[in-house]
Structure formats: structure tokens, C-alpha cells
Amino acid sequence: MVAAPKPEILAAFQAAKGFMPLDEGLALYEAALETGALGLPLLEVGTYCGRSTILLADAAREAGVSALTVDHHRGSEEQQPGWEYHDPETVDPELGVMDTLPTFRRTLYRAGLEEHVVALVGRSPQLAKIWNSPLGLVFIDGGHTDEHATADYEGWAPHLAENGLLLIHDVFPNPEDEFTGQAPYRVYLRALASGAFTEISATDSLRVLRRTSAGI
Ligand code: SAH
Ligand code: MG
């Protein structure tokens, strides 16, 4: 049987603000649970309000590892005021700029998963540069520009242990399917072309690749 999170975790996931649909969330959970057996931390780029983090954290709890989640919490381009994915509730009323960190903290607390998560607050390339420890899973769900998606791949994929999993969200082979563009799709093609990864599953826009050799 396919592993699924407990009903209370699923309810917390469904109630959380964010952009991860259920079927892709379940695929993320299954991949996280499987790779958790490596005994290494699971890392997400793109926390937002913690919706996908709930599933990563619950799988990390099951596996006895930590979930790490990276975000500067100021939102991606398409989440800024006036853009398609903007949510006015994510704006800090005092500063008038986006701040998803408070909502993320509430989400995680309510789900009872705080102790399984380490939040890394900052710019992904800046954090990746000082990172020096192997990871069991890298889930790329951050900025959708080529600059950001490429930097996420170049910064974090080299830290994946052999047999670790690389997950990429918002992979749209058809340019008409998503107005934020095809940068994640290009990163996915690049990972495959490197010869270091083997695709193991695709669920809507989520791709799961296994690191099968050292050279990236
Ligand atoms: N995984 C989330 C959605 C993430 S949205 C969910 O399940 O709902 C993308 C997030 O990436 C935004 O919160 C944005 O602030 C963050 N982000 C974009 N570019 C970034 C960068 N260069 N460094 C850190 N975070 C970034
Ligand atoms: Mg996404």
C-alpha cells in the first residue's frame, strides 16, 4: 500500500495557505518517507506559509530526521502586490511588504510539527554557498525565474547524497500551462541531461529524480 499521512496531518495540510495540490503533496510525502531511510535531512526551497512543509515534516518525523526549509519570506515575483498569486494577508501591516514567516510559524505550530523542522530564513543561493552537509532530499519549489530556479539547482543538488531524491515542482513541458514560465522545466531537463539522475515518478507538475551518480 502507498504510504499516506494521518488524517490530522492531511487536515492541517488542506487548511494551510499555499500552492501545493493534494495529489502532488502525497507524492512529495511518499518520496520523503522513502528517502528518509537514508537518515539524512530533507530540504525544501520555498517555504511560503508552510503547506508543503507539513508533509515533509511529517515524513521527517516518521523517519527520525529533520526537515529543513529555505525562504527569505518576502515572496516570489508573482506573489507581490498586483500580481496573480498575491494574497493581501501575507503583507506585514507595519512595513507594507510581504512576510510569510508568521503564517508559516502558526501553520507548523498548529500541525504539531515544529520540533521536526529547521527554518532557514534567507536567500537560497546565499544559504547554499555556506552549506556543507549531505542531504537525503532536495525539493525545489522557490522562485520561478531562470535565475532563481537555476541557482536553486546549482546550489543544492550537489549536496544530495547518492540515492537521494531531487524533486522539482511546477514542471510544465507545455508553455501554455503556466504563466510563471518554464524555468523549473528547464532545470528538470538539465538534471536529466547531466546523467546524474534517473526519473522515478511524475505527478502533475511534480517530478521525482534519484541521484544515481556523483557527477552533476
Ligand atoms: N512550497 C510552498 C510554495 C512556495 S512559493 C507551498 O507548498 O505552498 C515560493 C516561495 O519561494 C516564496 O515564498 C518565495 O518567498 C520563495 N523564494 C523565491 N525566491 C527565493 C530565493 N531566491 N531565496 C529564498 N526564497 C525564495
Ligand atoms: Mg510550486
DSSP secondary-structure letter at 182? S
Is 73 among the domain residues? yes
Is 112 among the domain residues? yes
**pLDDT value of residue 175:** 87
**How many separate domains does the chain show?**
1
* HSE value, Cβ hemisphere, 13 Å, CA-based, for 122: 11
Cell readout for 129 is 554557498
Quote the CA–CA distance of 19 and 141 in Å, as a whole number. 10
Query: Is the distance from the beta carbon of residue 58 to the nearest atom of ligand 1 less than 6 Å?
Result: no
Query: Is the distance from the beta carbon of residue 69 to the nearest atom of ligand 1 less than 6 Å?
Result: no
Pocket test for ligand 1, best of 22, 69, 86, 124 (most atoms within 8 A of CB): 124
**pLDDT value of residue 2:** 67
Rg (CA), the chain: 16
Residue located nearest, by CA, to atom 18 of ligand 1:
143
* Angle of helix 51-63 versus helix 7-15 axis, rounded to 10: 160
Cell readout for 84 is 496573480
Is 1 among the domain residues? no
Query: Is the distance from the beta carbon of residue 19 to the nearest atom of ligand 1 less than 6 Å?
Result: yes
Is 150 among the domain residues? yes
**Segments in the chain below pLDDT 70:** 1-2
Residue-number span of the structural domain to which 40 is assigned? 7-211
Is 216 among the domain residues? no
Is 2 among the domain residues? no
CATH number at residue 160: 3.40.50.150
* Angle of helix 146-156 versus helix 183-193 axis, rounded to 10: 40
pLDDT digits (tens, 9 = 90+) for 56-85: 999 999 999 999 999 999 999 999 999 989
Question: Among candidates 27, 85, 31, which has minimal Cα distance to 204?
Answer: 27
**pLDDT value of residue 215:** 80
Is 116 among the domain residues? yes
Is 104 among the domain residues? yes
Q: How many whole angstroms from 123 Cα to the centroid of ligand 1?
A: 10
For 50, counting Cβ atoms within 10 Å of its Cβ (0-12 exposed, 13-18 middle, 19+ buried), the class is buried
Query: Is the distance from the beta carbon of residue 86 to the nearest atom of ligand 1 less than 6 Å?
Result: no
Task: Please tell me which residue in 144, 148, 159, 169 is annotated as part of the active site.
Answer: 144
User: Does the annotation mark 144 as catalytic?
Assistant: yes
Q: How many whole angstroms from 49 Cα to the centroid of ligand 1?
A: 9
